[in-house]
């Protein structure tokens, strides 16, 4: 694990913004105008998806993929000027938030500055032409990190963004395909100009790791990436969440994978927990009924790790915006009283509970449609007394349930009346039974 990764990142909320489709204007200034609302959701960190110019050769769609970058050191003029970006950064900081930007270091556009100036820094196929080591990403060409001059250029670029633009960290696209040793050196270099920078890796599914390795392509696991990164994606379990929601596997199988993370990663591991992102379907598209969506959203915040909200998720937007065209998010259903936005604000307050930053975690499903999850203070037994616990009940089917909770052992919940930390209501445990209404419940013991 990165030596200075703070467990407090588990109390943080990241809000992801795709500038092009965030507003009709598609500009930095339009994002800046909405910062108060974004902050009101409990946002700690704003992540801007790629802000660089997009290549023109083999362009996908009408505007091109934001991940087909032509110049790492420039700002996409469609979004505004460098001064507009600096103004946005300053406003984000003034409101008590941080900003990270997307770094796409595995590949560039086919007509990038580097492909013209330094073709020797790229992967070449057997016929001598540019290409990809893996996949069919026909709008981009892969870089070759066996060349240390490339390392210097890329690291100097990161230092420029962190220094001159005061960027607080980086979300690194397909980080496993870039050598971990590069990321370690980059982290140390950026620390010298911006101490405490945040490093988020787009780690990948286990199947993608094994596929690439079977083809002789180096691809780092989460465990390797944690040497350089603070936060890794939750793709090592998300595929089982998707499998449960689409009927391919049980809820128990998904939760078993979450529990396994507690044993295979360092004590201060941090996962990026999400229900959706720009590469996946919207949560409101997959989870159709409101009660279920409420419970899954509450569980998202209760999990051990940093919470990710993708712009438009709070409006229950079901359409996943296209990355290659003008496809503005529909905000017409959002207002101050929107039920999901209100839940997110309440859960954001609960997210700051110190137990959520330093605790052991376990989740179980006594029957399909219900998750019982527990955070137990890592202090454990102090002077013979157990540490505090937060216990969450999430009706993932949105239905009422009667749950037997007084099991033998340390996980017993004594009979009594508790306060639901989600909405302030009373929750009673009587004769070892808790009666759930279908709303999410979190209590402290």
Summarize pLDDT for 141-173 with one digit per residue, the tens.
999 999 999 999 999 999 999 999 999 999 999
What pLDDT does residue 379 have?
61
% residues pLDDT > 70 (the chain): 96
Q: Indicate whether 183 pLDDT > 60.
A: yes
Q: Indicate whether 335 pLDDT > 90.
A: no
pLDDT tens readout for residues 389-418: 999 999 999 999 999 987 655 568 999 999
Q: Indicate whether 325 pLDDT > 60.
A: yes
Distance of alpha carbon 205 from alpha carbon 228, whole angstroms? 19
What pLDDT does residue 423 have?
96
DSSP of 359-409: EEEEEE-SSTTEEEEEEEETT--BTTBPPPEEEEEEETTS--EEEE---SS
What pLDDT does residue 410 have?
54
How confident is residue 430, by pLDDT bands cut at 50, 70 and 90?
very high
How confident is residue 333, by pLDDT bands cut at 50, 70 and 90?
low
CA distances from 30 to 16, 75, 354 (A): 15, 16, 34
What pLDDT does residue 3 have?
77
Per-residue pLDDT, averaged over 104-124, amounts to 98
How confident is residue 28, by pLDDT bands cut at 50, 70 and 90?
very high
Distance of alpha carbon 206 from alpha carbon 239, whole angstroms? 9
What pLDDT does residue 180 have?
98
Chain Cα centroid distance, residue 98: 15
What pLDDT does residue 343 have?
96
What pLDDT does residue 411 have?
61
pLDDT tens readout for residues 252-291: 999 999 999 999 999 999 999 999 999 999 999 999 999 9
Helix (H) or strand (E) holding 60: none
DSSP of 76-127: -TTT--HHHHHHHHHHHHHTT-EEEEEE--SEEETT-HHHHH-GGGB-B-TT
Q: Indicate whether 308 pLDDT > 70.
A: yes
What pLDDT does residue 376 have?
92
Residue 185 in tokens: 């050196």
Q: Indicate whether 113 pLDDT > 80.
A: yes
Q: Indicate whether 176 pLDDT > 60.
A: yes
**How many other CB atoms are found less than 10 A from the CB of residue 8?**
14
- Comparing CA positions, the residue from 299, 288, 245 lying closest to residue 439 is 299
Per-residue pLDDT, averaged over 89-112, amounts to 98
pTM: 0.96
Contact (Cβ atoms closer than 8 angstroms) between residue 235 and residue 204: yes
Look at 228 and 136; give whichever has higher pLDDT: 228
What pLDDT does residue 338 have?
75
Q: In this structure, what DSSP letter does residue 61 have?
A: T
Distance of alpha carbon 208 from alpha carbon 176, whole angstroms? 10
Q: Indicate whether 244 pLDDT > 80.
A: yes
Residue 336 in tokens: 């101050």
How confident is residue 137, by pLDDT bands cut at 50, 70 and 90?
confident
Distance of alpha carbon 375 from alpha carbon 388, whole angstroms? 8
What pLDDT does residue 412 have?
83
Q: Three-class SS of residue 417?
A: strand
% residues pLDDT > 90 (the chain): 91
């Amino acid at each position: 694990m990165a030596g200075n990764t703070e467990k407090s990142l588990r109390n943080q909320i990241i809000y992801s913004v795709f500038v092009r489709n965030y507003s009709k204007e598609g500009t930095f200034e339009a994002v800046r105008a909405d910062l108060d609302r974004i902050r009101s959701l409990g946002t700690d960190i704003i992540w801007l998806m790629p802000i660089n110019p997009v290549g023109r050769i083999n362009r996908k769609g009408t505007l091109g993929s934001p991940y087909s970058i032509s110049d790492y050191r420039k700002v996409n003029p469609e979004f505004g000027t460098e001064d507009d970006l600096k103004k946005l950064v300053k406003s984000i900081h003034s409101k008590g938030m941080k900003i990270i930007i997307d770094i796409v270091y595995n590949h560039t556009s086919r007509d990038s500055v580097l492909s013209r100036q330094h073709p020797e820094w790229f992967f070449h196929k057997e016929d001598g032409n540019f290409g990809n080591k893996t996949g069919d990403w026909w709008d981009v060409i892969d870089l070759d990190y066996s060349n240390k001059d490339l390392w210097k250029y890329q690291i100097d670029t990161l230092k420029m963004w962190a220094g001159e633009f005061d960027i607080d960290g980086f979300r690194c696209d397909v980080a496993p395909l870039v050598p971990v040793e590069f990321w370690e050196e980059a982290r140390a270099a950026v620390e010298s100009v911006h101490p405490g920078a945040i490093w988020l890796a787009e780690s990948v599914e286990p199947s993608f790791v094994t596929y690439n390795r079977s083809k002789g392509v180096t691809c780092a696991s989460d465990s390797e990436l944690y040497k350089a990164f603070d936060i890794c994606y939750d793709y090592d379990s998300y595929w089982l969440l998707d499998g449960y929601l689409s009927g391919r596997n049980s809820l128990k199988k998904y939760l078993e994978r979450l529990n396994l993370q507690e044993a295979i990663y360092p004590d201060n591991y941090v996962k990026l927990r999400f229900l959706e992102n720009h590469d996946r379907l919207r949560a409101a598209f997959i989870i159709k009924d409101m009660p279920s969506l409420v419970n899954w959203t509450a569980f998202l915040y209760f999990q051990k790790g940093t919470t990710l909200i993708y712009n438009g998720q709070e409006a229950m937007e079901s359409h996943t915006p296209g990355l290659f065209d003008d496809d503005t998010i529909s905000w017409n259903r959002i207002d101050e009283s929107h039920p999901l936005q209100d839940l997110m604000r309440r859960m954001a307050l609960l997210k700051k509970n110190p137990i959520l930053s330093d605790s052991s975690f376990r989740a179980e499903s006594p029957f399909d449609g219900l998750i019982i999850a527990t955070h137990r203070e890592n202090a454990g037994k102090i002077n013979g007394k157990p540490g505090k616990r937060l216990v969450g009940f999430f009706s993932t089917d949105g239905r009422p349930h009667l749950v037997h909770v007084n099991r033998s052992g340390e996980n017993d919940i004594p009979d009594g009346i508790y306060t639901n930390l989600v909405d302030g209501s009373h929750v009673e445990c009587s004769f070892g039974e808790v009666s759930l209404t279908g709303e999410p419940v979190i209590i402290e013991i």
